[in-house]
Structure 1
C-alpha cells in the first residue's frame, strides 16, 4: 500500500502545485488496533509556491483553501493541511497534529519542517487544551455506547484510548504516546479491567470495522467513572504557555526557503 500512498501524494503535488512536507499514518493503524479492513488514514501537511502566500488574500480565505482532501478510495483516506493552517493549530497545541508528528508510520518526511516542529512541541504543549480534547472525544464515543445492548467494538477502543491519553497528561504533564498498547501498559487500570480491554482489543483486530458485540459492564463503569473525574479536573485547569508565534513565523519562512530556493 505504501507505493499507492506515495503515488497519491505525487498526484496531489502535481494537481495543486504544492510540495508535501510530511505524511504519516493516523487513526487506528497508528494507535495499534487496526481491523482487517481499516482505512489507511494518511495525513500530511504541505506548502504552496511563495507567490500564493505573497498575495492580498491569505491562504484559507475564500477560494484559497488551506485543506486538501481526497475521497476515500480502496481503503485509502488521504487529507492534509497547508503549513500555515498546521502551524496555527500547532500554536494551539492541537492534539491530532501532535499525534501526526509522533506517528511511528511515516510515509514521507522530505524536509526538516516536521523535525523542527517536534523540537518545539514541548514548548507549545498545553495540558489543558489536550485534556479537554481527549475528554471530549472519549465522551462522544461513550455516548454511542451508553445504554446500548449492542455496540461497535471500535467505539470502546476510541473512548478508552482518549481517556487513557487524558489520564497520562494528568499524571505526567506531557504529550501522551500514540500507541494504545503503551497507554494501557503504563496506565493499567487494574487486572480484571485490563484483561477485559485486552480481550476487546483482540476481537477488534481479528474482526472488521463493523464488528459489534454486547456491551461490557466493567468497561462501561470505568469509562463513566473516569470521565466524570476528568471533567471535574479539566474544568479547574488553566495553563499558560509563552506565545510561540514568532518562532513559528521563522519556521514557516525557513521552510519556504528550503522548499523553493532550488
Structure 2
C-alpha cells in the first residue's frame, strides 16, 4: 500500500466531493487507527470532514440531510458532517468533534476552521467526556475481551478510552488522539511492557488476528472500569456553552 499515493488520492477526492456536492470542505482529518498511532499495514484510511453549503440551503423549510457518505471499501472510509450538525453536537460536548480537531493527520483545513477552533475547547464538558469513553471501553470489553481467545487488536479499543478517561479526570481537557501520548501520561509503568509488545505486533502484522486472553491486561481493565465509574459518578456536572457563541460562528461561516 503506497501511503503517499493514497493521501494524494484522498485530497483529489475532497475536490471531487466539493464540486459534485456544491460544498466547501473546511476541515478534513484522519480519524481512525492511523490517527491513534497504531495502524496495521493494511489499515484503511478513515477520512472525516466538516463542510459548509451555500447559505440558501440552510433557509429551506424542508429538513435536509446533514451527512455525506462518500466512499467505503477496503482502502477508503470517507464521510463528513454539515457544519450545522457539527456545531449542534459541539454544544452537547460530543467527543468526536474534539478528536477531529486534534487529529495529528490533517488532509485539509482552512481559516474558517480556525474560527471554529476558537470556541471548541470552551465547549468541552469533562464529565460528559468521561462517560462517553467509559461507556465505549465497557462495551468493547464486554463484546470482545471476555473469551479465553480474543481479537488481540481489541485491547487497544478498550485501553485507549480507559486512558482517555484518566486524562480527562487528571486534566479536565480533551484527550489527545495519539495512543502513545495517552500511554506516556496515564498508563502504569508495570503495564507498559505488555502493552508495548502488543502495540509492536499490531503495527507490524497485516492482520493481528486472535490470541489467548492476556490476563494481566484483563485484570487491569476490570479494575479501571470499576474505579473510573466511581470517579465519574462523583464529578460535578457542567452547563453547555451559550448557544450565542456557536450561532455567531455559524452565521459568520455563512457570510451573514
Deviations 1:81-114 (A, max 9, x none): 00000001111111111000001110001x3232
Note if 1:55 corresponds to 2:55. no
- 1: CA distance between counterparts of 2:41 and 2:59? 46
Mapped contact 1:124–1:241 kept (Cα < 8 A): no
Note if 1:18 corresponds to 2:18. no
Mapped contact 1:25–1:40 kept (Cα < 8 A): yes
Mapped contact 2:98–2:121 kept (Cα < 8 A): no
Task: Name 1:189's counterpart in structure 2.
Answer: 188
1:1-262 alignment to 2 at 5 Å?
1-57=6-62, 61=63, 64-109=64-109, 111-191=110-190, 193-209=191-207, 211-241=209-239, 243-257=241-255
Mapped contact 1:113–1:251 kept (Cα < 8 A): no
Q: So what's the TM-score if we normalise by structure 2?
A: 0.93
* Secondary structure of residue in 1 paired with 2:107: strand
Deviations 1:184-235 (A, max 9, x none): 01113132x1110001101111113452221110100011110011112222
* Secondary structure of residue in 1 paired with 2:18: helix
Q: So what's the TM-score if we normalise by structure 1?
A: 0.91
- 1: CA distance between counterparts of 2:114 and 2:139? 32
Residues 85, 131 of structure 1: CA spacing in aligned structure 2 closer, same or farther, 3 A cutoff? same
Unaligned runs of 5+ in 1: none
- 2: CA distance between counterparts of 1:177 and 1:43? 17
- 2: CA distance between counterparts of 1:222 and 1:230? 12
How big is the alpha-carbon RMSD for the aligned residues of Structure 1 and Structure 2? 1.6
Give the drift of 1:244.
2.7
Mapped contact 1:36–1:205 kept (Cα < 8 A): yes
Which aligned runs of 4 or more in structure 1 are off by greater than 4 angstroms? none
Unaligned runs of 5+ in 2: 1-5
Residues 194, 210 of structure 1: CA spacing in aligned structure 2 closer, same or farther, 3 A cutoff? closer
